[in-house]
Structure 1
């Protein structure tokens, strides 16, 4: 299956990465997300390679993203009680915002707090782990033509130059044909090229490496604190969001919305338009939008909350399942990071 839109291709690339990462060097435990990056640059697909044992420790902090303000508190919370202004490094912004973050962190059971007179003291519940090994950025372009190659070459060159990611890739669809070599010559030599064929759906054999990427990790030195924090923020957002969060910007409560299997992937499908819709198409403003009858949601038909809620619950469960499986991957050297076979 070759999707009608780049959005659909993006979902298939994400599922492939979840099943078969790393395509060039063999299995590596990783979590996959989409549409993440910085203020200057947003990536289609983000692969966060992790240490399974450290990810298991991160799982103890819950399923939600720990945002930048909370990370400042959680990463530096002391093992013993201390006044927060003694315990935490200067944030570079007013301390009142730190106090707000402390209360939110305590509300999520990320840290402990108590008062010593008028002073707020904090203590960690557990150390925040160093769970991120590498970050990989993937640009997806199923139909690579000359104009698209020019645009992508500039984007990938920016990624290579900033080296915020440890590897950058271009994923493009071949459908059995060779990629035009003249187009690949436009790309920076440091960027990898993943040739995919999803005509029969997604499985571990759906991608081949047409060009191996360079390692962009700093050699002989570590990244500065600002880059380290930006990378950790991206990884946290990838952890909390995942790639199945498309239901947040679509309307699974429409009668025409359903999930369809494409090999080992589940993707949205519109029965009214008979296609895989984009997030923009699948909205309440769609002229063919037909909301679920209220009785579906109130009477538990066919599942409690109605089909739309059931779709959300299914996708959320699969995101959680994949995170748990990756955290457990270190106990099974044969695992590809998912721990599952034949499931979408």
Structure 2
């Protein structure tokens, strides 16, 4: 049964994207994340299509997000030792912050550094790969009524106009009939429509294309400006480090009522007290039903370092790692 809450629907769309991306053009290796974007626009679901060989080289830099300051250092680090201020392009902000990023990058073993008197010299350990091929933005709206279509129209128009993503899609729950044409007319024709049916399970057949998306990437011989390309890479890096199973970071898996339940081939959070999939706002320490797991749970059948809540986090982390392995192995 498809969850009533938009949050639960969002998780199922993310799992579907892992299983069946691209919905209209065949299988493509991709990472999936949720609630990412810029200060002006946040997307429900983000699909990062990758080059598997380059993605394998990206994984050599570790499993954590490489933030914008670190990207500036890593991408500019030279093959031979050089003073960092000579090697790196001017950041547009004080060099002291670059110096801090150099120390952080070396601390994470992303570059090499050494001192030559009072000067800090850097050298790359390996080239940072061009691993991101395309970025796809998906808005999730299980119940597409007229007011929802009106709101989404402005958001999708923004996506089409800025072309930060290569495709823009709307995912909505099917009602057994075709999506009402009057509602589709409210949306930009460049946005694709994905009709989903998760009533039976989450699998590769759970979605169908009601309207094909337009490719928003620059035409042949054209390129995005460097600032936009850098912003796209920053979004991809956050997707790489965060994924979509990071909901436990904004919830309370240490509550005795918190569970993970299977929805087809996906795992979603479940509150036994409310008997529903909770949102991050509901699943918090201020919830009247919040009840911390007792200390005894951490010593009976669970590893000493934690109880069920810690176990849930490990399960979700293993699944995220397994998806990274799968993307890397695609030829």
Interval of TM-score (by shorter of Structure 1 and Structure 2): over 0.9
Determine the structure 1 residue equivalent to 2:188: 188
Number of residue pairs aligned between Structure 1 and Structure 2: 329
Determine the structure 2 residue equivalent to 1:110: 110
Distance 1:232 1:187, change over 3 A: same
Determine the structure 1 residue equivalent to 2:267: 266
**CA distance in structure 1 between the aligned counterparts of 2:73 and 2:301, rounded to whole angstroms:** 44
**CA distance in structure 2 between the aligned counterparts of 1:234 and 1:71, rounded to whole angstroms:** 12
RMSD: 0.9
Determine the structure 2 residue equivalent to 1:62: 62
Aligned-pair distance for 1:317?
A: 0.9
Distance 1:222 1:204, change over 3 A: same
Unaligned ranges ≥5, structure 2: none
Unaligned ranges ≥5, structure 1: 331-344
TM-score by length of 2: 0.98
TM-score by length of 1: 0.94
Determine the structure 1 residue equivalent to 2:282: 281
**CA distance in structure 1 between the aligned counterparts of 2:225 and 2:35, rounded to whole angstroms:** 24
- Equivalences for residues 236-275 of structure 1 within 5 A: 236-275=237-276
**CA distance in structure 1 between the aligned counterparts of 2:210 and 2:162, rounded to whole angstroms:** 24
Contact 1:175 1:196 (8 Å CA) reproduced: no
Secondary structure, counterpart of 1:313 in structure 2: helix
Contact 1:174 1:195 (8 Å CA) reproduced: yes
Secondary structure, counterpart of 2:128 in structure 1: coil
- Equivalences for residues 111-150 of structure 1 within 5 A: 111-150=111-150
Determine the structure 2 residue equivalent to 1:315: 316
Secondary structure, counterpart of 1:12 in structure 2: helix
Determine the structure 2 residue equivalent to 1:339: none
Secondary structure, counterpart of 1:134 in structure 2: strand
Aligned-pair distance for 1:3?
A: 1.1
Aligned-pair distance for 1:295?
A: 2.5
1:258-302 per-position Cα deviation (integer Å, ceiling 9, x unaligned): 1111111110111111111111111111111111112323x2543
**138-147 vs 319-328, greater mean Cα deviation:** 319-328
Please state if 1:173 is matched with 2:173. yes
Please state if 1:201 is matched with 2:201. yes
Determine the structure 2 residue equivalent to 1:73: 73
Contact 1:153 1:188 (8 Å CA) reproduced: yes
Contact 1:169 1:213 (8 Å CA) reproduced: yes
Determine the structure 2 residue equivalent to 1:151: 151
**CA distance in structure 1 between the aligned counterparts of 2:63 and 2:329, rounded to whole angstroms:** 16
Secondary structure, counterpart of 2:31 in structure 1: strand
**CA distance in structure 1 between the aligned counterparts of 2:112 and 2:205, rounded to whole angstroms:** 47
**CA distance in structure 1 between the aligned counterparts of 2:303 and 2:103, rounded to whole angstroms:** 37
Aligned-pair distance for 1:175?
A: 4.1
- Equivalences for residues 328-343 of structure 1 within 5 A: 328-330=329-331
Secondary structure, counterpart of 2:292 in structure 1: coil
1:75-105 per-position Cα deviation (integer Å, ceiling 9, x unaligned): 1101110000111000010000000000000
Determine the structure 2 residue equivalent to 1:94: 94
Secondary structure, counterpart of 2:260 in structure 1: strand
1:147-200 per-position Cα deviation (integer Å, ceiling 9, x unaligned): 000010110001000000000000000143321111011110100000000111
Contact 1:175 1:199 (8 Å CA) reproduced: no
Aligned-pair distance for 1:209?
A: 0.4
